Chains A and B, each alone.
Chain A
Amino acid sequence: MRNVLTIVRKELRAYFVSPIAYVVLTGFLLLGGWFFFNLLSRFNMLLSIYTQLQQGAADQLNLNEFVIAPLMHNLSIVLVILVPMITMRAYAEEKKGGTYELLLTSPLRTGEIVLGKFLASFVFICIMLGMTGVYPAVLIAFGNPEIGVLLAGYLGLLLLATSFVAVGLLTSSFTENQIIAAVSGLVATMLLYIIGWPADTAGEVLGPLLRYLSATDHFADMVNGLIDTQDLVYFASLILLSLFLTQRSVESLRWR
């Protein structure tokens, strides 16, 4: 465990000593802010239209449904692209810079290296998502969104981002080229995002399967305030499977 923490500290330092952390956090908040601003002004417009239209119609408008849910869906698309860029350096840079030799000739277990790198990126993602908390905070201060649904949505966003982190780390462990790591990571996270698209026309067997594999479908449930064990199991399996494969991929150097 001590070794895991040493790796976590080293990785987090690498994020925050270099400009990476600041660029990513700023970019993420900038886009998030833009989405939030637009969704909110649309909500505002709808509100005034509904009020004029009919007495009491404005009550049908729900902050969760019209602002928070679309905001989270938008953020999830940004995560599809951003997370592979956060994780691309994890293994590729070590391989390129020769520090991989240092890590693998030290008395560290591969599992400790893999877990340390994963936890560091997880902490980073938590910081990133935590900072978007200002948007719902504004809504809570000036409106009355449903807190339970909001929290379920955040849990979904966190699980989605964590799964992407695990997948991104896996693709980084395959190569010493950061661009290849990022692109293959992006393809993988994007696939997880869109794999459910043909589900409606894919037939009785393939359809549900594709829907089950799709990260978006599980995520959408949670954004709507529905935490199903099936969704939790899905994300947990995706994360664990990716971590396991990463461990195998790092370890594979020792078999060849």
Chain B
Amino acid sequence: MIEVQNLTKRYGDLTAVSDISFQAESGQILGFLGPNGSGKTTTMRIITGFMPATMGTVKVAGFDIFDESFEARKRIGYLPESPPLYNDMTVTAYLRFVAHIKGMARADIPDALDRALERCGLTEVASRVTGYLSKGYRQRVGLAQAIIHNPSVLVLDEPTVGLDPQQIIGIRSLIKELAGEHTVILSTHILPEVAQVCEKVVIINAGKVVAEDMLENLAQDQTLEDVFLKAIAQEEPGAAETEETVKEAAE
């Protein structure tokens, strides 16, 4: 469903992502893990066609994101790090706009809108202006925006950051529900989230894939924390320091 092959992205001299490959099968939730600044967002931006790769290819639902960008983009729902909302629009107007630009047929839009509102628990705030919504609701509008055109692939960049515990639980169960009909790539640095939600895990560090496996294989005889810390410690010379900060973060 999603095939990333030998992906490299350089910004001038800085290599953000270097030769990474992984794939996600249809209906799978893939956890994309890595410390801050490891290249997660860059990878997701390339997968969604926002920016081109320096080298390598990405195929989404069988379409190359660079050569057949139009077809690929129709099949992707993307929630960037901060939800891409127009602050002066109401939730309904915003979602209707997104449905239009995603190329949905006019007749399908009302139903899709109702479904997205309901699934993301937005029915009560449907007529509110997005600029005045709380962070949790904004995030949910972002998610509704990503699923409204029923894409086969969902790319979610840290969807639970900044939410309260109850909202986090809500979003996670929503993501679980969405899998099956959608293939989901979920980027995060919250390990328990991966343990709860994902079937497959890809860990990247400093732009390289350091581990890729099914969750049950990875976390067979050790916790995911250990796997993660070992994986990111392999590559880095100053690993001891990083390890501690990550441990702190994990705690």
Q: Which residues of A are in contact with B by a Cβ distance under 8 Å?
A: 2-3, 6-7, 10, 13-14, 17-18, 97-108, 253-256
Contact = CB atoms under 8 A, between A and B. Distances in A.
Contacts of A97: 84-87
A98 B97 CA distance: 16
B98 A102 contact: yes
A256 to B, nearest CB: 7
B93 A13 contact: yes
Contact of A107 (B51, B85, B102): B102
B120 to A, nearest CB: 16
A128 B30 CA distance: 52
Given A101-B50, A256-B52, A107 B86 contact: no
Contacts of A255: 52
Interface in B83-111: 83-89, 93, 97-98, 100-103
A236 B177 CA distance: 54
Nearest to A10: B97
Interface of B: 45, 48-52, 70-71, 73-74, 76, 78, 80-89, 93, 97-98, 100-103, 145
Contacts, number: 72
B83 A107 contact: no
Contact of B84 (A14, A18, A99, A107): A99
A108 B149 CA distance: 14
Contact of A99 (B45, B52, B85, B100): B85
B215 to A, nearest CB: 28
A256 B54 CA distance: 8
Q: Which of A3, A6, A102, A103: most chain B CB closer than 10 A? A: A102
B19 to A, nearest CB: 19
A101 B78 contact: yes
Given A13-B89, A97-B87, A256-B51, A106 B101 contact: yes
A104 B52 CA distance: 12
Given A98-B84, A105-B76, 20 more contacts: A2-B100, A13-B88, A14-B86, A14-B88, A97-B85, A97-B86, A98-B80, A98-B81, A98-B82, A98-B83, A99-B84, A100-B84, A101-B80, A102-B84, A102-B98, A104-B49, A105-B78, A106-B98, A107-B102, A253-B51
Main secondary structure of the interface of B (DSSP, over half): loop
A123 B50 CA distance: 29
A188 B89 CA distance: 32
Contacts of A3: 100-101, 103
Contact of A104 (B50, B81, B102, B145): B50
A18 B88 contact: yes
A256 B88 CA distance: 31
22 contacts: A3-B100, A6-B100, A7-B101, A10-B97, A13-B88, A14-B86, A17-B88, A97-B85, A98-B80, A98-B82, A99-B84, A99-B86, A101-B50, A101-B84, A102-B98, A102-B101, A104-B49, A105-B48, A106-B103, A107-B101, A107-B103, A253-B51
A18 B131 CA distance: 12
Given A97-B84, A99-B86, A254 B52 contact: yes
A7 B83 CA distance: 19
Contacts of B100: 2-3, 6
* Interface pairs A-B: 10 shortest CB-CB: A102-B84, A6-B100, A99-B84, A105-B48, A106-B101, A107-B73, A107-B74, A98-B84, A101-B80, A17-B88
Contacts of A103: 101
B88 A106 contact: no
